[in-house]
Amino acid sequence: MNTRSRVRTGALAVALALLAAACTSGGVAGGVRGKPGAAGLRDPYFPKLGNGGYDVTHYALTLSYDPADGRLDGRAEITAKATQDLSAFNLDLAGLTVRRATVDGDTAAVNRAGNELTLRPRAEIADGHEFRAVITYDGEPQTITDADGSEEGWLKTADGALALGEPTGSMAWFPGNHHPSDKASYDITVTVPAGLKALSNGVLTAEKKEKDGRVTATWHTPEPMASYLAMLAIGKYDTSTATVFGKVPVLTAADPRIATETAALRARIPEILDWEKENFGPYPFSAAGAIVEPDDDVGYALETQTRPVFPLGSFDTGTVVHELAHQWYGDSVSPASWKDMWLNESFATYAEWLYEEDFEHTPAQRSFEKAFANQGAWAFPPAEPPTPQDLFGTPVYQRGAMVLHRIRQTVGDEKFFEILAGWPEKYRHSTADTEDFTRYVESVAGRDLSGLWDVWLYGDGKPEKITD
Ligand code: TRP
Ligand code: ZN
C-alpha cells in the first residue's frame, strides 16, 4: 500500500519545520516532505513484491559461499534513483541477517518484517536523487517452495548451490526491488572454496585466487535484467567456450559427471541462436550459454539471462530452443507484472513449434491442433491465471502459443514474422504488458482483432470450432 502524505498540524508542524531548518545534512530543502516508499508494487499475484519510490539502476553484489556450512556472506551495493521524496524505502529480502546498512555512506536505520527490509536513511532522499544503499548480510539462504510445489531461491546441490528466482526466489540471496518491472544492470562477484567454480549471468570480467586459496569470479551484466533472471551456480563444473554472431561469447557448463553426455547439444547452442536470430531479430545480450545440472539439483529449466539452467532430463533440443527463445521473449522484453507471464511462455513455446516446423517435419499447424485437443490447455484464459499456482499452468504455455498461431492464421506469414521480430525490437530491454501486445499486433495487422482476443486470450473455455 502506498502511504499517503501525512498532514501535520499545530505544534508538531512547527517543531518539524524548525528541525528541518536546523538540519544541514542534505535533507529535502524546505522542510520534511518525504514519505516512505510503498512496500509492494501491487502485483496481482504477489502484491508485496517489489517496492515503490525508487528505481534501481545497478546491483553490485559481493558474495562468498561455503557449501561446507551452507553460509552466505553478502554485500549488496544498490544504486537507485528516487521517484518521490523518500523518508524511508523498502527492499525485499527473505531470511538472512542484516548486519549493517548505509545510504550514501551514512548508517541507515534497519527494520525487518516478513520479507520486507525497511531502510530509513539519516537524511531524506529527494525525488530524482541518485543514491547508493549498501547492505551487508549473512546467514544460510533458504529454499522457497512455490504455491505449485516447485522449489526456487537457494537450492543446495551435492557440491554447491544453485540460486534461481522465478518468480520470487531472488530475495533469498540478495536484497532488492524484486519485481520484474524494475530492471537493472549487475556486477556479481562470488568467492568459493578452491576446486569449485561460481558461475553467473553475463561476461566473466575477473577471476582471481585469494591468499587463502579460495577463488573469486566477477560477472558483468550490462543490459537491464529483471531480478528473477539473476542466477548463481556454485559447484564443480566442466566448461566450454565458443563464439556466436562473430562476437558474442558462449560459455556452457555442466557438472563433470554429465559433461560428456551433454557436450554435443551444448555445442549446438550457437547454431540454435543463429536460427532464432533469423526469426526473432538481433540477439539482445552480450553473452550466451547454458548450465546443465544433474536431475537431483533442480526440477525445471529456467531462462536465466544469457545463461539458462537445465536439469539433465530437460536438456533436449526443444527445451534449449525454448529457454534460448526466452532471451528475446521474457528476458529482453520482460513482463510488466506476473499477470503477463503468458507473453514469456507463449513465444517460447511457439519457438519450439517453429523449430519443429523448420527441422522436424511438423508444421506449427499440427502443434496447434494438438494443443487445441489438449483439455488441460483450456482450464483458464492464458492472460488470466486464477491463482499464483497457475502461473506455470498448461494454458499459459499451450493456449498462449495457440494465440500466436491464431494471429499467424489471421494476418498471414509475412506480417506474423514481422510481429515475431518487431515485438522484441519495440520493447527491447524493457517491460511490456498484455495490452501493449494486443495494441502492437493490431498496429502491424492494420485492423481491430478484438474478436481474436476475446475468444483465445480472454475467453473462458474452449471455442466450439478451431477456427472461431
Ligand atoms: N519458466 C520456465 C520455463 O518455462 C519454467 C519454470 C520455472 C517452471 N519455474 C517453474 C515450471 C516452476 C513449473 C514450475 O522455461
Ligand atoms: Zn518458458
**What would the pLDDT profile of 131-154 be if each residue is shown by its tens digit?**
999 999 999 999 999 999 999 999
**Is the Cβ–Cβ distance between 402 and 456 less than 8 Å?**
yes
pLDDT in tens, 8-61: 344 444 444 444 444 434 444 445 689 999 999 999 999 999 999 999 999 999
- What are the backbone angles phi and psi of residue 57, rounded to the nearest 5°? -105, -30
pLDDT digits (tens, 9 = 90+) for 111-135: 999 999 999 999 999 999 999 999 9
- The residue-averaged pLDDT of 220-234 equals 98
- CATH homologous superfamily for 333-457? Neutral Protease Domain 2 (1.10.390.10)
Q: What is the DSSP letter of 108?
A: -
Q: Name the residue ranges covered by the structural domains of the chain.
A: 54-325, 333-457
pLDDT at residue number 3: 33
DSSP 427: T
Nearest one of 225, 231, 276 to 251, comparing CA atoms: 231
pLDDT in tens, 306-343: 999 999 999 999 999 999 999 999 999 999 999 999 99
The DSSP line for 72-100 is: EEEEEEEEEEESS-EEEEEEE--SSEEEE
The CATH superfamily label for domain 54-325 reads tricorn interacting facor f3 domain (2.60.40.1730)
The three cell numbers of residue 51 are 517496492
What average pLDDT does the segment 353-358 reach? 98
CB–CB of 196/67 below 8 Å?
yes
What percentage of the chain carries pLDDT values higher than 90? 92
Tell me the C-alpha to C-alpha distance, in Å, between residue 40 and each of 56, 57, 97, 166, 395.
15, 18, 21, 17, 27
Model pLDDT, residue 338 = 98
Atom of ligand 1 nearest to the CA of 323: 15
| Whether the Cβ atoms of residue 468 and residue 453 lie closer than 8 Å to each other | no
Kindly give the distance from the C-alpha atom of residue 321 to the centroid of ligand 2, in angstroms, as a whole number. 10
The pLDDT assigned to 468 comes to 81
CB-ligand 1 contact for 148 (6 Å cutoff) = yes
User: Which residue among 340, 390, 392, 396 has the greatest number of ligand 1 atoms within 8 angstroms of its CB, and so is best to mutate?
Assistant: 392
412 dihedral zone (left: phi>0; alpha: psi -120 to 50; beta):
left
Angstrom distance (rounded) from CA 450 to CA 327? 29
Q: For residue 40, count other CB atoms closer than 10 A to its CB.
A: 19
| R_g over Cα of the chain | 23
The Cα 368–Cα 111 span in angstroms is 51
Is the Cβ–Cβ distance between 293 and 160 less than 8 Å? Answer: no
pLDDT greater than 70 at residue 2: no
292 membership: H or E segment, kind and range: strand 288-293
* pLDDT, tens digit, 9 for 90 and up, residues 247-259: 999 999 999 999 9
Q: How confident is the model at residue 467, as a pLDDT? A: 86
Instruction: Return the pLDDT at 9.
Output: 42
Q: Tens digits of per-residue pLDDT, 153-187?
A: 999 999 999 999 999 999 999 999 999 999 999 99
**Cβ 314 vs Cβ 300: under 8 Å:** yes
Taking CA atoms, 4 is separated from 34, 35, 42, in Å, by 10, 8, 16
The mean pLDDT of the chain is: 94
Which pLDDT score is estimated for 7? Answer: 38
Whats the size of the chain, residue-wise? 468
Output the nine-digit C-alpha cell for 253. 557448463
Ligand 1 mutation pick, 45, 143, 150, 331, max ligand atoms within 8 A of CB? 150
Q: Determine what percent of the chain is predicted with pLDDT higher than 70.
A: 93
Q: Is 392 in the pocket of ligand 1 (CB under 6 A)?
A: yes
Bridge partners of 233?
162, 199
pLDDT, tens digit (0-9, with 9 covering 90-100), for 380-423: 999 999 999 999 999 999 999 999 999 999 999 999 999 999 99
Q: Are 254 and 266 in contact (CB under 8 A)?
A: yes
Please name the residue whose Cα sits nearest to atom 3 of ligand 1: 302
**Please, which residues have CB within 8 angstroms of residue 93's CB and are 6 or more apart in sequence?**
112, 115, 116, 117, 137, 171, 174, 175, 176
pTM of the model: 0.93
